[in-house]
Amino acid sequence: MSVRTIRAARLGAVGAVGVLALTSCFSSPASNDDASGERARVAMLQPPRSGLSQFSDDAFKLSRWSTAETLITLDDLGEAQPGLATDWERTDDFTWSFDVRPDVMFHNGASLDADAVVTALTAATQAAPKPRILDGVEMTVAAEDSDTVTVTTELVDPLLPQRLSSPQLAILAPVAYEGDGPVSPIGNGTGPFVLTSVDGTSSAALDRNEDYWGEKAKLAGFDVDFVPDGTARAASLRNGTADVVEAIPVGQASLVDQELVHEVPMPRTNTLYLNTANGVFADPAMRAAARESIDKDRLVEQVYEGRADAANGLLGPALPWAAERPERTETPAGDANGKRITLATFTDRAELPEVAVLLQQELEAKGFVVEQVVREYQFIETDALEGRFDAFILSRATVLDSGDPVSYMYSDFACEGSFNISQFCDPQVDAALAAASATDPGADRRTAILEAERLILEKDAAIPMLHERVIQGESARTVDAARDPRERTLITSQTTFE
């Protein structure tokens, strides 16, 4: 099968821990010069957790800042589009060939070529832990010539172009990968903005790339503050000290001028992950009891004030085809009376502790004895991944990496998945995920995905509760900040002020 893109090229898209006080956010106003000389002020939800390593979830910050770019980008339908690669073709079942965009310079002045791409992608395959998008994927990368890269996978991977759109597979300058230390994105990207500095978990600064290969950014740059406290983020929009605010909490949205609030359906599911390997929820009947205890409509109305959708599966209304899911068989619930469990979540998303309060009430009404554990995400992720809780509430993006849910489902529910909070391992599910992964994009792949979802839900490895919506704040003067359901883009070359 051979595919050659002929679409026009498109623009693609750590230190001490501190809590920012409300009064500390963006204390310096932007200038009133021409838009081309102005800097935007951005309030972001989570601070870097891995020193802005591109192989971690921090990569999505680099993408949202338009500083690191990938070979492939995705359009609104999740179809592959040119990025740092202009064309590609599948030369056999296991091999793809990519043409590297000419005349691209890294922020440090080095030129982009096939060897630079090989260095970046090979580093990703050798990273520990491996980027989530490469879960279950073994691939080798080679330079065919100075302008062409071949990628060969161990297994058939029809979704490889979409996979290469993941921010975790961004192409940084070769110098970023030298030595034994962490990969540094500072001054090593190719995007319209240059990351110039990062102040630990407090702030970052980016300047316009005057030598960008595409359309030059309209802003002179922007300054980022990491503001985990949702009240403080919303206040920064109300008092005019931020121009773009990420993830305004539902409880704060009504307190902001509604003309400044923009709500976008997104492929993100608020899910209760149950520890299937150890403790109370190793018993399928107890997992069923937890499922039966949850009132999803109550959560939507009381916590999300109607700004969410009750979940009938892992995949929500942002993927309309998922509504055609097959019927599933449910395990009967057992007697939960007196069963002691730990219920954990994190504070970075303001709604989750509130969800935990209501869930505790509902689980206790079913007979469970519940102990809550609530921390900042950076202090709880390791314990969650090591299975130290019976249940964990997570707000999870379901197509974040490749525009396709198979990567998320493999990461969270395959035996070898790197984000398997449920400690779940089922050969039948692994086989279904492998079948979906090997199917070409289209109707057959969607059917295979829904079959894998059915098997996961029948095991109650995770209980999807609701599908969230992006609530993004933008000052009245802000123009063309990206409103991206996938949370890959935020400030782009088009973002400016009126």
Helix (H, G, I), strand (E, B) or coil at 467: strand
Topology classification of domain 266-469: Dipeptide-binding Protein; domain 3 (3.10.105)
> What is the reported pLDDT for 440?
84
- Range list for CATH 3.40.190.10 in the chain: 22-243+475-497
Peptide bond into 320 cis (omega under 30): no
Angle, CA of 166, 169 and 173, to the nearest 5°: 140
Q: Are residues 394 and 273 in contact, defined by beta-carbon separation less than 8 angstroms?
A: yes
Of the listed ranges 10-19, 315-324, 396-405, the least confidently predicted one is 10-19
Residue 25 pLDDT > 60: no
108-145: pLDDT as tens digits: 999 999 999 999 999 999 998 888 888 878 999 999 99
| Long-range contact set of residues 278-283: C-beta below 8 Å, sequence gap at least 24 | 278/387, 278/423, 279/341, 279/390, 280/339, 280/340, 280/341, 280/368, 280/390, 281/341, 281/390, 281/391, 283/334
- Of the pLDDT bands very low, low, confident and very high (cuts 50, 70, 90), residue 17 is very low
Topology classification of domain 22-243+475-497: D-Maltodextrin-Binding Protein; domain 2 (3.40.190)
- Range list for CATH 3.10.105.10 in the chain: 266-469
> What is the reported pLDDT for 407?
84
Residue found by looking up tokens 């770019």 in the block: 69
Q: Alpha-carbon distance 352 to 369, whole Å?
A: 20
Residue 27 pLDDT > 70: no
Which of the 8 DSSP states describes residue 25? Answer: T
Of the listed ranges 74-78, 409-413, 475-479, 493-497, the least confidently predicted one is 74-78
